[in-house]
Amino acid sequence: MYVVSFTDYRPTPRYDGVPWSVIHVEESDNVDGPWTQIEVIDISTLPDGVDTDPSEPLARSFTTDNATLQEGFYRVSFLDANGDVLYFAPIQNVAPATLPWTPSIQEVADQIVSRTRDQYGNEIGTFNATTRPTDTQVMHLIVEHIGDVANVIGTDIPSELWEDASTVVAERVAMQIELDYFPEQVNTDRSPYKQLKEEYEEDLSRLSRQVQVIKEGGDPTQVSTAPSKQAVGSFPDTTKYPPYGLSTRW
């Protein structure tokens, strides 16, 4: 058996007063199924319980230890008492150690250097045990979000594109750091989140096209994905806006 964690699953708002009450987890060796149910979770047993106001649903994180496929696809669905079902897009449980284009913690830090500060405000230049998030927390985010890229371009990426793919994953993780650890700055436009998101979406789209070119026999010497290598984390000015704010993970 394998352990698979699911982070920040927020169902769509509903205005009929009926909350989502059960979560189903299914697995498959193919993104299109067929699906096998491996876990049923009663939402009332999770930390926040069932939504008291279904029009403002909470995000929930949960784990199953019933997975049987090391790099299988997993689909989550929310159900209500009436049997209505809300499906989320499948994700792949990618083992990052097997992917040569997994970014390092330093590559993520290079995207948002100003966030690499210790509790005294000193810029470290990377994430470690004294920063927020820590290096361990950043690694967990890499594990969680490398699948976001893999779901678009697959895991078998031509070696010519490994560096570019690593950069795209680092951009995605940097985005999540902003959302998880600095949400108040994201909401007030004092975060580089929007710029990171624009760069990530543009670079991911370009990378996807170039992967397809090579797989279809195109000339790899003509491939130039050119994802952004410039850190955007110098905004905001963290001397004015201290990096230690609210967090959904801290």
Q: Which among 148, 179, 161, 153 is positioned nearest to 249, based on CA atoms?
A: 179
Q: What tens digit of pLDDT does each residue of 141-165 get?
A: 898 888 889 888 888 889 989 999 9
Q: Is the pLDDT of residue 94 over 90?
A: no
Q: Which two tokens stand for residue 108?
A: 């993520």
pLDDT tens digits along 55-73: 999 988 888 989 999 778 8
pLDDT value, residue 219: 63
d(CA 8, CA 24): 15
For residue 248, pLDDT beyond 50: no
168-211 per-position pLDDT tens digit: 999 999 999 999 999 999 999 999 999 999 999 999 999 999 99
% the chain with pLDDT above 90:
52
* pLDDT of 224 higher than 80: no
Task: Say what the alpha-carbon torsion angle 106, 93, 30, 159 is, to the nearest 10 degrees.
Answer: 20
pLDDT digits (tens, 9 = 90+) for 33-44: 999 999 999 999
How far, in Å, are 47, 87, 207, 210, 215 from residue 219 at the CA level?
53, 40, 15, 10, 10
Q: Is the pLDDT of residue 231 over 60?
A: no
Query: What dotted CATH number matches 2-92?
Result: 2.60.40
More confident residue, 235 or 16: 16
Domain ranges of the chain: 2-92, 96-222
Closest CA to 151 of 224, 208, 101, 195: 208
Contact 96, 146 (CB under 8 A): yes
